[in-house]
Chains A and B, each alone.
Chain A
Amino acid sequence: MLHIKNLHARVEEKPILKGVDLTVNPGEVHAIMGPNGSGKSTLANIIAGRSDYEVTAGSIDFQGEDIVEMSPEERAQAGIFLAFQYPVEIPGVSNTYFLRAALNAIRKSRGEEELDSLKFLGLIKEKIKSLEFDAAMLNRSVNEGFSGGEKKRNEILQMAVLEPKLCVMDETDSGLDIDALRVVADGVNALRSSERGFLVITHYQRLLNYIVPDYVHVLMGGQIVKSGGKELALEMEERGYGWLEEAIGAGR
Chain B
Amino acid sequence: MMDTIAQIQSDLAGITFDPSAWPSLRESRERAFQSHKTLGIPTLKDEEWKYTNLREIREDSYKIGQYVALQRDEVSSYLLEDLDPIRLVFVNGHFHLELSSSPSVPGLTFSTLANGVPSELGLLQKIEENTFAALNHATFADGAVVRIAKNTKIERPIMVLNMAVADVDRTVYCAPRTMIIAETGAEATIIESYASVGSRTTFTNAATEIFAGPNTRLEVVKIQGEGLQARHIANVEIKQQADSYLDHFNIAFGGAFTRNDINAFLDGSNISSRIDGVVVVGAEQHCDNHTRLDHAFPNCNSFEVYKHVLSGRSTTVFNGKIYVHQDAQKTDAKQTNQAILLSPEATMNSKPQLEIFADDVKCTHGATVGQLDSMPQFYLQSRGIPKDEAESLLIYAFAAEVLEKISHPGLRDLLEAKLFAKLAADREA
A residues apposed to B, CB below 8 Å: 48-52, 71-73, 75-77, 81-82, 84, 87-93, 98, 101-103, 105-106, 109, 141, 158, 162
Contact = CB atoms under 8 A, between A and B. Distances in A.
Given A51-B378, A90-B379, A102 B401 contact: no
Interface of B: 374-376, 378-387, 389-390, 393-394, 396-398, 400-401, 404
A162 B387 contact: no
Interface of B is mostly: helix
Contact of B383 (A50, A51, A162): A162
Contacts of A81: 382-383
Contact of B384 (A50, A51, A109): A109
A50 B401 contact: no
Given A50-B378, A91-B401, A101-B393, A71 B387 contact: yes
Contacts of A75: 382
Given A91-B397, A91-B401, A93-B397, A102 B379 contact: no
Given A91-B397, A92-B398, A52 B374 contact: yes
B386 A88 contact: no
Given A92-B397, A92-B398, A92-B401, A101 B378 contact: no
A248 B383 CA distance: 38
A73 B387 contact: yes
Contacts of B387: 71, 73
B379 A87 contact: yes
A101 B385 contact: yes
Contacts of A105: 383-386, 389
Contacts of A103: 384
A98 B383 CA distance: 9
Nearest to A109: B384
Given A50-B378, A51-B378, A90 B394 contact: yes
B401 A98 contact: no
A76 B383 contact: yes
Contacts of A158: 383
A67 to B, nearest CB: 13
28 contacts: A50-B382, A52-B374, A71-B381, A71-B387, A72-B382, A73-B382, A73-B386, A73-B387, A76-B381, A76-B382, A84-B379, A87-B379, A88-B375, A88-B379, A89-B376, A90-B376, A90-B380, A91-B397, A92-B404, A98-B380, A101-B380, A102-B384, A102-B385, A103-B384, A105-B383, A105-B385, A105-B389, A162-B384
